């Protein structure tokens, strides 16, 4: 047993933990569902707003 608990099954395809597994450092968090579609939508909307403000200042 490690200091963090019992050993669990390894990482499956695309960095997703197998059933009963856990994420390991360096895992593909996007594939693991760390960012939802709504999160990506908000991120893109914020980037678009920032770009439009930046373009307005440059004119």
Task: List pLDDT tens digits, range 1-57.
Answer: 455 666 555 544 444 555 556 656 666 665 656 667 777 888 889 999 998 888 888
Integer CA distances (angstroms), 44 to 4, 29, 37, 54, 57, in order: 37, 18, 11, 15, 20
Read off the pTM: 0.36
CA 9 to chain centre: 21
Q: Where are the domains of the chain?
A: 13-58
């Amino acid at each position: 047993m490690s200091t963090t608990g019992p050993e669990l099954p390894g990482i499956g395809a695309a960095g997703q933990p197998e059933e009963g597994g856990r994420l390991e450092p360096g895992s593909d968090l996007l594939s693991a569902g760390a960012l939802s579609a709504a999160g990506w939508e908000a991120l893109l909307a914020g980037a678009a707003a920032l770009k439009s403000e930046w373009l307005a200042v440059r004119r």
